Amino acid sequence: MQPPREHAGPAAGSRAAQLERFATTDEALQALDLVEELGLWQRSHEPLERPRVLLNMVSSLDGRATLKHRSGPLSNPADRALFHALRLAVDAVLVGAGTVRAEHYGRIIPDPQRRELRLRRGFSEEPLACIVSGRLTLTADIPLLSEPAARVVMLTSSSESLGEVDAQVEYVRAGGDGIVDLPSALHALAERFAVRTVLCEGGPHLACQLVADNLVDELFLTLSPVLAGGELADREALRILAGDELRPPLELELRGVLRHASQLFLRYGVHR
């Protein structure tokens, strides 16, 4: 039998300690409806120091962000629908080079009808594909770099350039010694490319750096109903944040909960 948990906060019978039941309804919500409800299509034209950053991650119930180096096994059709719907209403998709390789990234929005929807909403045809690569070690065989219509911005601390690729590639150079200065890089995206909203899709190292630099505004977290085990120190058992401990930990505010079958979709805002 487990010992009782120590209570450091309000008394057990106080209003602050009461639990709220998670209410379910019969209302069905499509991923595109959620994007509309969140107001992600709305665009402000006020000057920004940096873009608004949304972090979208998936996790097992015991904290795993990947299984066998990929997030796909933790996903389901509803999660994939939300993943692609969030891409529709942002100016840029931000991703680490390791994730681009592991997940075999291709064109950000391959569906012509969805590209047309973006144009009708006042966006460019596709979001910029922004890849963070400190030492610029990507190769031309990545599907995204082999796509002539792809618009790619490399965020790097290197003075080198990629070899010959089919994608349209530009560079934001910030930082040094293989470490990208993310605050400066995001400022450059706003200034040079008019980027106002960024969707970060990981991986865990990039997500941790963004959080540590106080650059994340919202977290969309899918909780997959699986237990995976494994040592979190193992490279194959990363959590959604992989890096140094945050001191103090970042506090989040729950803004929404959805579910599909046993999968939960949580939306959090970041306390400033």
Which among 194, 237, 198, 243 has a CA at the least distance from the CA of 217? Answer: 198
Give the separation between CA 115 and CA 100, rounded to whole angstroms.
Answer: 21
Query: Could you tell me which residue, 146 or 14, shows the higher pLDDT?
Result: 146
pLDDT, residue 38, reads 87
Number of domains in the chain: 1
Residue 44 pLDDT level (bands cut at 50, 70, 90) = confident
Whether 13 has a pLDDT exceeding 90, the answer reads no
Segment 80-87 shows an average pLDDT of: 96
Chain centroid to CA 234: 22
- Quick check: is 58 in a domain? yes
> What pTM, to 2 d.p., does this model score?
0.91
pLDDT, residue 140, reads 86
- Quick check: is 91 in a domain? yes
- Quick check: is 237 in a domain? yes
- Quick check: is 225 in a domain? yes
pLDDT, residue 225, reads 96
Segment 86-114 shows an average pLDDT of: 96
pLDDT, residue 21, reads 80
Residue 53 pLDDT level (bands cut at 50, 70, 90) = very high
Whether 6 has a pLDDT exceeding 70, the answer reads no
Segment 118-126 shows an average pLDDT of: 95
- Quick check: is 223 in a domain? yes
- Quick check: is 1 in a domain? no
By residue range, what is the domain housing residue 120? 49-270
Segment 212-221 shows an average pLDDT of: 97
CATH number, residue 158 = 3.40.430.10
- Quick check: is 24 in a domain? no
165-208, pLDDT tens digit by residue?
Answer: 999 999 999 999 999 999 999 999 999 999 999 999 999 999 99
- Quick check: is 5 in a domain? no
